[in-house]
Amino acid sequence: MNAKSIKLFFFLCLITNILLISNIASAQVSVVESAFETAESKGFSGVLLLAIDGKVVFEKATGYRSYEQKIPLLTTDIFEMASVSKQFTAMMVMMCQEKGLLEYSDNADKYLNIPYKGITIKQLLTHTNGLPDYQAVMDKHWDKNKVADNQAILEYLRKYHPPMLAEPGEKYEYSNTAYVFLASIVEKVTGRDFIDLSREWIFKPLGMKDTDIRTLEEKAKVSNFAAGHIKNKNGEYVNANKFHDSDYTVWLGNRKGPGRISSTAEDLLIWDQALYNGTQVSEKTLKSAFSPQSLNDCTLSYYGFGWDLGKDELLGKIVSHTGDNPGYKTLIMRFIDQNKTLILLNNNYHEANTELVESAVAALKGF
């Protein structure tokens, strides 16, 4: 075979491989399309985004931004992130650590006037702290005609002093209280407002133009804010904020740390990709955030710093987080060994959510 024939052979092989890859990708997109259409037919309202190496391979919206006004949902609409916010709070703590403002081994009561002693910042980050649920205390005692902030939450924990649920480091137990403490610690060590600092350190530098920690009044002024919806007694979807007493996002509307970030699917992809390039913290710091934690009995807890940790046989290491608010169900899944991303934002807390995620993960395995 002469040189010209060899070149032609390799060129034909290259074209064949490109066509094969293109066909595989097209087939996987079809799988997701079908799953999305099924969810749509069942009444799902939300946005699904899939990306590989930071490039969107599927993005679609269905349902309504507002059911009452019948405003169709767009992929650019802004959703409440709920507990997906915790990874941002954890990042603020990690940035403070790298700046020498705190250590993970520091006890929380070094910085905060709280009745719970011997709990480290690391145990706050990893939900291994044993703290009681602040929401239960506020639900029982707080005047829901007022809007609580972190200072009020700390005051009520001191006043009513609910007991610890476990010894620090004894076990994993999800703790919103811990992330209220973390945001308050960031404010203490920086002397700055947590919201202003989040904008300055994360949202603005990364170009997350639609991401913020908004008050109820600020959210009302955002024209493309996708309201969370739940069904009324007639089975009709209505704005979740109308159920005032049960909607803690209203009367706990000024809390910082465990929730309250609102964002878009595409802004979350910007955030996802920034975690690969070291613009926020060092690779060493991020590695610790994605590592399981050793408990007092030397068993491991698979929650890092604001991230659930998992592994898939084909996709490799997974770091993910869900978020639940009245009317909302959110998810970011990062398959960090392969730089694949799944983002799902749902604003009518629909049961089709789970099946759609399963289909999307299956499709990502085929890309």
The residues assigned a catalytic role are 83
SS3 label, residue 361: helix
CB within 8 Å of 336: residues ≥ 6 apart: 276, 290, 316, 317, 318, 319
**153/145 Cα distance (integer angstroms):** 15
Q: Residue 35: what are its φ and ψ, rounded to 5°?
A: -65, -40
Angstrom distance (rounded) from CA 223 to CA 78: 9
The alpha carbon of residue 40 and the mean position of all alpha carbons in its chain are separated, in whole angstroms, by 23
Cα separation, 146 vs 287, in Å, equals 41
Q: Which amino acid is at 134?
A: Y
The Cα–Cα gap between 247 and 260 comes to 13
Distance of alpha carbon 246 from alpha carbon 328, whole angstroms: 14
Question: Helix 352-366 crosses helix 3-41 at what angle (to 10 degrees)?
Answer: 180
Cβ pair 338, 50 in contact under 8 A? no
